[in-house]
Amino acid sequence: MQSHFIKSCAAIGVVGLAGSAFAGDTVRFDVSFSDIDLFFIDFEAGETPANEQIVVTGDPGRYVQSVGFSNVDVDVCWNVGSSFTGWASEIVFDINLDDGDVDGDGADDAWYFIAPFAGDDTGADAEGTCSQRLALEETDVPLAPFTYKVSATGDVATGMSSSWNEGLGLRHSEVNTADFYFVLGGEIPAGCDGATGGCAEVHPTPGCDDITCCSLTCEVEPFCCDIEWDSSCVDIAVDVCGIYQYECVAPAYANDCATSPTMLGNGDVVAFNTVGANTDGPDAPECGSGDDDLPIWGDLWYVIEVADEATVTMTCCNLADFDTKIAMYSAGAIGDPIDPSTLPDDIIGCNEDCDDPDFFTSELISTVPAGQYLVRVGGYLDARGSGDLVVSWEEPEPPLAAPECATPGDTNISQITVDSADFGNGGVWCGAAAENVVARSYPAADLGGAFDVSC
């Protein structure tokens, strides 16, 4: 079961890093709840839970590293008179944190929720009954580093509630026991606060412009935040922060580097051979390869230019003599220079195996908007070989011409003025009793909001 960290019932990203980005000592605060009923709380309207507990940290502005829970023993109820049972997934811990108005709602402080039974959309079996749920083991939920902090008062409000409003004002569930905690991370290294210069670039000043990566790096080597960001700091940052640095060493073919792809047109078939090719592209976990094989080995590169939205097929299925992978990357607008440094973020999709029981070749199909795209072909587990690559795409059918009435009839039907072409939601239905049933739809938005149709 997975726990979620959410705000006002809207999911936000939770970033888990390999190791903590918070250097220095951490401080943990624990809160316990027992023998309480849970209700829906309208936080956006300014309500707070009756079971609210205020934790005095004495550390205003300190960042929160993680939250967590344990010993959760609750009964989810189906109230008499209610049409539905409550769900276990609707039980949440509440915590008020300073997010620096990251979402632009005009307020720095906001309530966030942690759902110990996220995904459990079940409850009681019958009206007037309750059903027990347990989450006894301690579960830690790491938060995005340097994003959520203690408010200026130094106090942190906590509580428990239900995220579902059944409209009756009745209790959603009963808490027998529940333990909650939050952990304050270490201080931001001084050299990271307001630092300039990229973390993957040597520069004469301490720190780098990514506060999370900077903190991780300086935890390994304080010199990088005290004196300067030299090449050793860059090496550490690349390692601990997972920074991708593109390089293409000793290319064996003209299209062995992502920066020099071979241009392909719609329907082109091109022979390829990856023997001796280097591997210059980034790891591609999107391929879903077994044996934790993340690279696309011995990769060759192609580029296509798609003038309009299209469904693109890239295949060497049953056309190659080795176990292949095919990936597709966005490369900006047609004519833009290729920037290989953004490849990890530009991947659209990857396929490792098609219906090929012999060589496990590949086929990737993707619908994309207009633009230029890189096609990357390589191997699984350092496999290399030869084959044919076929790239083609189907552009969408042109839109129908605007409707015209060449020979009007003498039966007028009044409008329903709604901006929709859906017959059930504001369109006009002609000849409902006739053999052709529907002659044409005339949406109000296309005809100035007022019209008569003659059928």
Same domain assignment for residues 206 and 277: no
Which domain-ending residue is among 149, 169, 184?
A: 184
Q: Which helix (H) or strand (E) holds 92?
A: strand 91-98
CB-CB contact of 5 with 12 (8 Å)? yes
Q: Is the pLDDT of residue 425 over 80?
A: no
Average pLDDT over residues 138-151: 91
pLDDT at 14: 28
- The number of beta carbons lying within 10 Å of the beta carbon of residue 124 is 20
Same domain assignment for residues 149 and 219: no
Q: Is the pLDDT of residue 113 over 90?
A: yes
Same domain assignment for residues 218 and 99: no
CB-CB contact of 202 with 65 (8 Å)? no
Q: How far are the Cα atoms of 81, 92, 170, 177, 374 from residue 86, in angstroms, in the given order?
A: 13, 12, 11, 18, 49
pLDDT-above-90 percentage for the chain: 69
Query: Would 435 be classed as within a structural domain?
Result: no
Query: Would 438 be classed as within a structural domain?
Result: no
Residue 28 in tokens: 């943990």
Contacts of 167 (CB under 8 A, 6+ apart): none
Same domain assignment for residues 383 and 293: yes
Q: How confident is the model at residue 452 (pLDDT cuts 50, 70, 90)?
A: low
Residue 125 in tokens: 């079996």
Average pLDDT over residues 354-368: 91
Residue 423 in tokens: 């017959």
**Domain count for the chain:** 3
Q: Where are the alpha helices (DSSP H) in 92-230?
A: 211-220, 223-226
What single-letter amino acid sits at 163?
S
Q: How confident is the model at residue 19 (pLDDT cuts 50, 70, 90)?
A: very low
Rg (CA), the chain: 30
Q: How confident is the model at residue 433 (pLDDT cuts 50, 70, 90)?
A: very low
Bigger pLDDT: 405 or 359? 359
Does the pTM surpass 0.85? The reply is no
Mean of pLDDT over the chain: 86
Domain range enclosing 348: 262-394
Q: Which helix (H) or strand (E) holds 184?
A: strand 173-184
pLDDT, tens only, 381-410? 999 999 999 999 987 777 777 767 666 666
Q: What φ, ψ does residue 424 adopt, rounded to 5°?
A: -85, 0
Same domain assignment for residues 234 and 278: no
Q: Is the pLDDT of residue 305 over 60?
A: yes
Same domain assignment for residues 235 and 297: no
Average pLDDT over residues 143-152: 89
Query: Would 429 be classed as within a structural domain?
Result: no
Which domain-ending residue is among 370, 394, 418?
A: 394
Q: Is the pLDDT of residue 270 over 60?
A: yes
Same domain assignment for residues 229 and 308: no
Average pLDDT over residues 365-370: 94
pLDDT at 447: 57
* Phi-psi category of residue 197: left, alpha or beta, with phi > 0 → left and psi -120 to 50 → alpha: left
Q: What φ, ψ does residue 136 adopt, rounded to 5°?
A: -85, -35
Closest CA relative to residue 346, chosen from 325, 329, 361: 329
Give the pairing type, strands 371-379 and 297-306.
antiparallel
pLDDT at 146: 83
Query: Would 3 be classed as within a structural domain?
Result: no
Same domain assignment for residues 134 and 58: yes
Q: Which of 7-21, 115-129, 240-254 has the lowest mean pLDDT?
A: 7-21
Output the domain CATH number for residue 152.
2.60.120
Q: Which helix (H) or strand (E) holds 66?
A: strand 64-77
Q: Is the pLDDT of residue 22 over 70?
A: no
